[in-house]
Amino acid sequence: MLIEPPSTVKIDPIYLKKKEMVSYFIVGHLDNENYNKFVSNEDEEPYKLWNRIKEHYASSSGENIASHFGKLFSIKFPPSSSALSEAISSFCSTLKLLQGLSPSLFAADIMVQVLSFYVLQLLPETCRHVSTAIFHSIKVSAEIPTV
């Protein structure tokens, strides 16, 4: 979480210029939906804006967890090896995010086993011959592999 800068810094012209740049940077990377959701005025303190965004996306609310599960289960595993690697990386990073949001949900090693099996079932037909070998080589562990 970011904190409010000291009042002595707030009057420094260099700080004011950098604050404006940071605000524009954050706002410039928001799509329309997130802009409307998080930006209350154009001259907003960047630390307040960033904290609202972070609190929303790092929230362990049921809605946020369900949203990330939706992303997890909508990942497609195409047959091309470069796209397949990207899809697996996306799956692993989303799964790690879910673990961070709700450690109690993922405390059981069985959840990782179940989701690993789910991924193997989604692999393209060209990869099916290795999926059995991969599945049997997965050790029961709550750690998500990095790709």
Sign of the Cα torsion 120, 122, 123, 126 reads: positive
Q: How far apart are CA 45 and CA 136, in angstroms?
A: 52
Single pTM value for the model? 0.48
Q: How far apart are CA 59 and CA 53, in angstroms?
A: 10
Which pair of structure tokens corresponds to residue 10?
A: 């707030």
Domain ranges for the chain, please list them.
Answer: 7-57, 65-137
Q: How far apart are CA 112 and CA 106, in angstroms?
A: 7
Mean pLDDT calculated for residue range 77-104: 79
32-65 pLDDT, tens digit per residue, is 988 888 888 766 788 888 888 888 877 777 777 7
Q: How far apart are CA 118 and CA 85, in angstroms?
A: 16
